[in-house]
Chain A
Amino acid sequence: MTLVDRLTAAKRDANYQGLIDAVPYARFLGLTAGMEGEELITTMKFGAHLIGNPALPALHGGTLGALLESAAIFELLWRAETVVLPKTITLTVDYLRSGAAVDTHARGIVTRHGRRVTNVRMEAWQTDRATPVATAHAIFLVKRAA
Chain B
Amino acid sequence: MADEDADLRLKLVKQFSAGVPHNRALGIWIEAVTPGSTVFRLPYDEKLVGNPDTGVLHGGAITALLDGASGAAVFAALTDFVPIATLDLRIDYLRPAEAGKDVVCKATCYKLARNVAFTRAVAFHDDPDDPIAHSVGTFMISTKGGKA
Contacts and interface: CB of A to CB of B under 8 A. Distances in A.
A71 to B, nearest CB: 11
Contacts of A124: none
B48 A3 contact: no
B22 A25 contact: no
Most buried by A among B25, B60, B64, B67: B60
B67 A90 contact: no
A51 interface: yes
26 contacts: A3-B53, A23-B58, A25-B48, A25-B58, A48-B21, A49-B24, A49-B25, A50-B21, A52-B20, A52-B21, A52-B22, A53-B20, A54-B21, A59-B22, A60-B22, A60-B68, A61-B64, A61-B67, A61-B89, A62-B22, A65-B91, A66-B60, A87-B93, A88-B93, A90-B92, A93-B89
Categorize the interface residue count of chain B: 35 or more
Given A62-B22, A66-B61, 12 more contacts: A25-B47, A25-B49, A60-B68, A62-B60, A65-B63, A65-B64, A66-B60, A66-B63, A88-B59, A92-B88, A95-B86, A98-B85
A52 B17 CA distance: 9
Contact of A60 (B20, B46, B50, B53): B20
B49 A24 contact: yes
Contacts of A27: 47
Interface in A76-113: 85, 87-95, 98
B128 interface: no
Given A51-B20, A85-B51, A25 B60 contact: yes
Interface in A37-54: 48-54
Contacts of A49: 21-22, 24-25
Contact of A65 (B19, B21, B47, B89): B89
Given A87-B93, A92-B89, A94-B87, A62 B63 contact: yes
Contacts of B141: none
Q: Which of B19, B63, B66 has the most chain A CB within a 10 Å cutoff?
A: B63
Nearest to B89: A93
A69 B60 contact: yes
Given A25-B47, A89-B92, A60 B64 contact: yes
A93 B134 CA distance: 14
A59 to B, nearest CB: 8
B93 to A, nearest CB: 5
